[in-house]
Amino acid sequence: MSDHHTDTGATAPRPGTHHRRRFLQGLVATAGAAALPALTPPTAQAVTAPTAFHGLHQAGVTTPQQPSGLFAAFDVHAPDRAALEKLFRGLTARARALTTAGTEDTGGMLGPHPAPDRLTVTVGVGASLFDHRYGLADRKPRGLTPMRAFPHDRLDAGRCHGDLSLQLCADHRDTVLAAFRDLTRHLGAAVTARWSIDGFLNPPRPTGVQRNLMGFKDGIENPDPASPADMDRFVWVTDAGQEPAWAVGGTYQVVRIIRMHLEPWDRMNRLQQEHGFGRRKDTGAPLSGLRERDTPDYTGDPHGNITPLDSHARLANPRTPETDHQRILRRGYNYDHGLDHTATHDLGVAFCCYQKDIQRQYEPIQTRLDGERLATVLTPIGGGYFYTLPGVRSATDWYASTLLTTPAPRP
């Protein structure tokens, strides 16, 4: 603001005034009629093509991860099966319109004709939806249970489980928030919000995958979401499994809200942090390697002299033939909820992963991690297990259509 100060009195100019004027005159001469940098309006959002809404699988699982995300769970109050179908049909119509974008004003927050912004809406159901209310007990996915509590968890019941789940992701935070407001408004009294958490990805620094709030590159080791073979092996439920026929094309989602205690973490020296995480802090390389994508050498380090046996990376993926089937597709976000009631910064990760079998893939990993070095600075406080529904295959299809219309299995 001092650059725009105008003297209105008769006093002599303050020291440096002439220099500032000459500097501004130079800017004007260089930029012609352009406004000064401080007054330049933000660059307009680039127009992006919408992410395909229809398909065998829902978008938002193998879609290249967008920078902004939100997870939410709801209790469903539909009085009967017909009302439940109406809920899913309405949710489908709104999600289709929002992800297509450019077709309407979503309530004024984004202005008229918003860009698609790579918005994805991913819908799942929890184990509680298959209770006595809607006659769906015999159709429950075989591996769908309430999220279990592990020894180190400090779960808040109000932040766990739910009948219905939403994952919203886009390139910008306001797109996600506008979509969430729109969907909850249209769901209305049919649901009650149970919990939600929003998050963000950091830009690569300097290159490669993002760094988490501990300063380490996170999410390096993932099955390739662009590989149909990898996704069929580790993520999608196919007709070769033991699941109900309606569930083919879906996947199991795990969401875990994990608070990071960064005050004690920041007091650790770099070597302690690297031994806890199991990777180098500067490059993201395994402690036995030099580059981010190098494969860790655990076989040549059986006693953990290089990479401690209880480090996070080594426990999460020991790279043994016995654990190879446990690979999961991680798709989580950092979160920042500001200061809590104790004036402590509430920071952490909204961990999310997809797999075709929670009990064979995710839970063995989490069981091993209960003994990790990072357990003292990580506390899971909420989340849930959900079944991500098969995709909406056409303009006449809708979420959960196969669940609610497929004939019940024989006893």
Kindly report, residue by residue over 274-287, the tens digit of the pLDDT. 999 999 999 999 99
Residue closest to 310 by CA, chosen among 343, 338, 275: 275
State the pLDDT at residue 6: 39
Q: Identify whether 206 is preceded by a cis peptide bond (ω within 30 of 0).
A: yes
Give the mean model confidence (pLDDT) for residues 164-192.
96
Give the mean model confidence (pLDDT) for residues 247-274.
97
Q: How far is CA 288 from CA 189, 221, 321, in A?
A: 55, 15, 20
More reliable by pLDDT, 407 or 290: 290
Q: Which of 3-12, 206-215, 240-249, 316-325 has the lowest mean pLDDT?
A: 3-12
More reliable by pLDDT, 15 or 406: 406
Give the mean model confidence (pLDDT) for residues 29-39.
40
State the pLDDT at residue 49: 79
Give the mean model confidence (pLDDT) for residues 341-353.
95
DSSP state of 279: B
The sign of the dihedral angle between the CA atoms of 315, 321, 325, 331 is positive
Confidence of residue 363 (pLDDT cuts 50, 70, 90): very high
Confidence of residue 61 (pLDDT cuts 50, 70, 90): very high
Task: For residue range 104-131, list pLDDT tens digits in order.
Answer: 555 578 888 888 899 999 999 999 999 9
More reliable by pLDDT, 35 or 401: 401
**Pairing between β-strand 68-76 and β-strand 191-200 as defined by DSSP bridges:** antiparallel
Q: How far is CA 167 from CA 130, 156, 272, in A?
A: 20, 20, 35
* DSSP string computed for 103-137: SS-SSSSS-SS---TT-EEEEEE-GGGGSTTTT-G
More reliable by pLDDT, 142 or 113: 142
In the chain, the percentage of residues whose pLDDT exceeds 70 is 86
Give the mean model confidence (pLDDT) for residues 336-342.
94
Tell me whether residue 343 is exposed, middle or buried, using C-beta atoms within 10 angstroms of its C-beta: 0 to 12, 13 to 18, 19 or more.
Answer: exposed
Residue 134 has pLDDT above 80, yes or no: yes
In the chain, the percentage of residues whose pLDDT exceeds 90 is 79
Residue 28 has pLDDT above 80, yes or no: no
State the pLDDT at residue 16: 47
Residue 168 has pLDDT above 80, yes or no: yes
Q: How far is CA 165 from the centre of its chain?
A: 13
- Residue recorded with tokens 């004939």: 407
What's the CA gap between 405 and 56, in Å, rounded?
17
Instruction: Quickly count: other Cβ atoms within 10 Å of residue 179's Cβ.
Output: 28
State the pLDDT at residue 232: 97
Residue 93 has pLDDT above 80, yes or no: yes
The H or E element containing residue 346 is strand 345-355
Instruction: Quickly count: other Cβ atoms within 10 Å of residue 204's Cβ.
Output: 12
Give the mean model confidence (pLDDT) for residues 17-23.
43
DSSP state of 398: -
Task: For residue range 232-251, list pLDDT tens digits in order.
Answer: 999 999 987 789 999 999 99
Residue 379 has pLDDT above 70, yes or no: yes
Instruction: Quickly count: other Cβ atoms within 10 Å of residue 313's Cβ.
Output: 23
More reliable by pLDDT, 360 or 42: 360
More reliable by pLDDT, 2 or 377: 377
Confidence of residue 32 (pLDDT cuts 50, 70, 90): very low
Long-range pairs of 364-367 with CB within 8 A, sequence gap ≥ 24: 364/323, 364/326, 365/315, 365/316, 365/317, 365/326, 365/328, 366/150, 367/150
Mean pLDDT value across the chain: 89
The sign of the dihedral angle between the CA atoms of 306, 312, 315, 319 is negative
Q: Which of 29-33, 90-94, 345-349, 367-371 has the lowest mean pLDDT?
A: 29-33
State the pLDDT at residue 108: 73
State the pLDDT at residue 25: 45
